[in-house]
A and B are shown apart, each in its own frame.
Chain A
Amino acid sequence: MEPVCHVGFSAVQRLAELDLTPTALHKGLAGGSAEARLCTEMDAPGMAGYAFWSRSNRALREHLAREGWTFSNSQSILRCIHPSGAFAITAVSGSGRVGDEDADFSGSVRTKNPKGPAMAKLVQRNHEQLPLFVLAASREQEEPEVNDLPTWFLLYKSSKDGLAFELSLPVEMHGKNVDTWRERIILSENPFIGAEFDIKRLDEVPNVAPVEVPVKFKGAL
Chain B
Amino acid sequence: MLTASRLVLARKRRRMTLSSLSKESGVSVRSLTAFENGHKAPSPETIDALSEALKLPVDFLTAPDLDEISTDAVSFRALSKMSALDRDAARGAGRIVVEINDWIEERFGLPAPDVPTLPHLSPEEAAERVRALWGLGEAPIPNMIHLLESHGVRVFSLASDCSSVDAFSFRWERTRPFIVLNLQKSGERGRFDAAHELGHLVMHSEHRIPHGVEAEQEAQQFASAFLMPKAGLLAQKLYGADARRILSAKVKWQVAAVALAYRIHDLDLLSDWNYRTTVKLLSQMGYRSGEPGGIARESSQLLGKVFSTLRAESIPVSVMAKDINLTLEELNLHVFGLVPTVFEGGYRSSPPVRPDLRVVGP
| Binary per-residue interface labels of chain A (166-182) against chain B in the complex, 1 for a CB within 8 Å, 0 otherwise | 00000000000000000
Contacts of B247 in A (CB 8 A): none
Cross-chain contact B234 with A42 (CB below 8 angstroms): yes
Q: Which of A2-27 contact B (CB under 8 A)?
A: none
Chain A residue nearest to B233 (CB atoms) is: A40
Cβ of A77 under 8 Å from chain B: no
Cross-chain contact A40 with B234 (CB below 8 angstroms): yes
Cross-chain contact B231 with A38 (CB below 8 angstroms): yes
Inter-chain CA distance A34–B309, complex, in Å, is 33
Cross-chain contact B107 with A221 (CB below 8 angstroms): yes
Contacts of A42 in B (CB 8 A): 231, 234-235
Inter-chain CA distance A220–B146, complex, in Å, is 26
Cross-chain contact A37 with B109 (CB below 8 angstroms): no
Contacts of A45 in B (CB 8 A): none
Cβ of B315 under 8 Å from chain A: yes
Q: Which of A202-219 contact B (CB under 8 A)?
A: 202-203, 205-206, 208-219
* Contact A210/B135 with A41-B235, A203-B235, A218-B108 known, Cβ cut-off 8 Å: no
Cross-chain contact B132 with A34 (CB below 8 angstroms): yes
Cross-chain contact A213 with B136 (CB below 8 angstroms): no
Q: Which of B132-155 contact A (CB under 8 A)?
A: 132, 135-140, 142-143, 146-147, 149-150
Inter-chain CA distance A202–B229, complex, in Å, is 13
Contacts of A37 in B (CB 8 A): 135-139
Cross-chain contact A220 with B137 (CB below 8 angstroms): no
Cross-chain contact A213 with B362 (CB below 8 angstroms): no
Cβ of B278 under 8 Å from chain A: no
A214's partner among B109, B142, B143 (CB-CB below 8 A) is B109
Contacts of A30 in B (CB 8 A): 135
Task: Please give the distance in Å from A195's CB to the nearest CB on chain B.
Answer: 9
Contacts of B238 in A (CB 8 A): none
Q: Which of B298-353 contact A (CB under 8 A)?
A: 301-302, 305-306, 309, 313, 315, 319
Contacts of B132 in A (CB 8 A): 34, 38
Task: Please give the distance in Å from B122's CB to the nearest CB on chain A.
Answer: 19
* Contact A40/B135 with A206-B140, A217-B108 known, Cβ cut-off 8 Å: no
Contacts of A34 in B (CB 8 A): 132, 135-137
Cβ of A151 under 8 Å from chain B: no
* Contact A40/B143 with A213-B305, A215-B360, A216-B362 known, Cβ cut-off 8 Å: no
Interface residue count for B (Cβ, 8 Å)? Answer: 39
Cross-chain contact B251 with A205 (CB below 8 angstroms): yes
A217's partner among B111, B232, B252, B309 (CB-CB below 8 A) is B309
* Contact A211/B150 with A37-B137, A206-B140 known, Cβ cut-off 8 Å: yes
Cross-chain contact B360 with A209 (CB below 8 angstroms): no
Inter-chain CA distance A208–B236, complex, in Å, is 20
Cβ of B356 under 8 Å from chain A: yes
Cβ of B110 under 8 Å from chain A: yes
Contacts of A220 in B (CB 8 A): 313
Cross-chain contact B137 with A38 (CB below 8 angstroms): yes
* Contact A218/B109 with A37-B138, A40-B231, A213-B301 known, Cβ cut-off 8 Å: yes
Cross-chain contact A202 with B139 (CB below 8 angstroms): yes
Contacts of A213 in B (CB 8 A): 111, 146, 149-150, 301-302, 305
Inter-chain CA distance A213–B306, complex, in Å, is 11
Inter-chain CA distance A41–B138, complex, in Å, is 11
Task: Please give the distance in Å from A27's CB to the nearest CB on chain B.
Answer: 12
Cross-chain contact B305 with A215 (CB below 8 angstroms): yes
Cβ of A60 under 8 Å from chain B: no
Cross-chain contact A211 with B135 (CB below 8 angstroms): no
Inter-chain CA distance A174–B181, complex, in Å, is 59
Give the residue among B132, B137, B315 with the most A Cβ atoms within 10 A. Answer: B137
Q: List 9 A-B contacts (CB under 8 A).
A: A38-B231, A40-B231, A40-B235, A42-B231, A208-B142, A214-B360, A215-B302, A216-B361, A220-B313
B residues adjacent to A (C-beta < 8 A): 106-111, 132, 135-140, 142-143, 146-147, 149-150, 231-232, 234-236, 251-252, 301-302, 305-306, 309, 313, 315, 319, 356, 359-362
A residues adjacent to B (C-beta < 8 A): 30, 33-34, 36-42, 196, 202-203, 205-206, 208-221
8 further A-B contacts with Cβ under 8 Å, apart from A213-B149, A213-B150, are: A34-B135, A38-B231, A40-B232, A214-B109, A215-B108, A215-B306, A217-B309, A221-B107
